[in-house]
Amino acid sequence: GAGVSQSPSNKVTEKGKDVELRCDPISGHTALYWYRQSLGQGLEFLIYFQGNSAPDKSGLPSDRFSAERTGGSVSTLTIQRTQQEDSAVYLCASSPSGVGLDTQYFGPGTRLTVL
Amino acid sequence: DAKTTQPPSMDCAEGRAANLPCNHSTISGNEYVYWYRQIHSQGPQYIIHGLKNNETNEMASLIITEDRKSSTLILPHATLRDTAVYYCIVRAYSGAGSYQLTFGKGTKLSVIP
């Protein structure tokens, strides 16, 4: 079936604006993860969903970042009052159960540029 | 979390085996070693994982030392499409029900024609 999809693929915004990034996980996957990757850096974990709940939000860098997941499927990552340091590629991954050691499958990412 | 150490870059001739090393000297008994790769401008791609025994799949082989303090990912016949950053990851359990992956800087593998 289809893999993880993310939209938009690219987003350019002005400092101070709010942005929403969308992730469509693989159908049937209950676990969903958000990561971000700044230029030349490794991936940084942001938040994890099991179904619609987020038991681990430890990676969110500030209260300007929030995420939700509805219907156990689509997730939206919202960044309010964007700052230039928010510029990065935001990656979403899903896995079948989120427990044990099931494999995470990544989407292509959304490249966010804050001017 | 156990940490991993990888060389920042490696070159490999096309058609030859690429051997990518990883040190994870503080790995604990129930932690697995995972390998992902990231081709430029794409999301990370799962390659292989293992605990103690050597593993092989259609993409690669994973050799884990007996003391589990290091491992080697082997791409048996590297092609130009294998040029990517390869990440060695020890699977962490955060305690909050999350099995997030902790990525380091990885090894940039360049396959040379």
pLDDT in tens, A25-51: 999 999 999 999 988 777 888 998 988
- H helix and E strand count, chain A: 0, 11
Task: Please give the average per-residue pLDDT across A1-27, as a whole number.
Answer: 94
Q: pLDDT tens, position by position, for chain B (113 residues)? A: 558 999 999 999 999 999 999 999 988 887 889 999 999 888 899 999 998 889 999 999 999 999 999 999 999 999 999 999 999 998 765 545 557 787 888 999 999 99
* A72 to chain B, closest Cα gap in Å: 16
Question: Does residue A52 sit at the B interface (CB-CB below 8 Å)?
Answer: no
Inspect the interface and report whether the beta carbons of A103 and B104 lie closer than 8 Å: no
For tokens 């590629």, name the residue.
A89
Instruction: Show residues of chain B in contact with A91, CB under 8 Å.
Output: 43-44
Inspect the interface and report whether the beta carbons of A109 and B43 lie closer than 8 Å: yes
Inspect the interface and report whether the beta carbons of B105 and A41 lie closer than 8 Å: yes
Q: What are the Cα distances from residue B39, in Å, to A74, A77, B2, B80, B107? A: 25, 24, 25, 11, 12
Q: Is B57 helix (H, G, I), strand (E, B) or coil?
A: coil
- Residues A31, A95 contacting (CB under 8 angstroms): yes
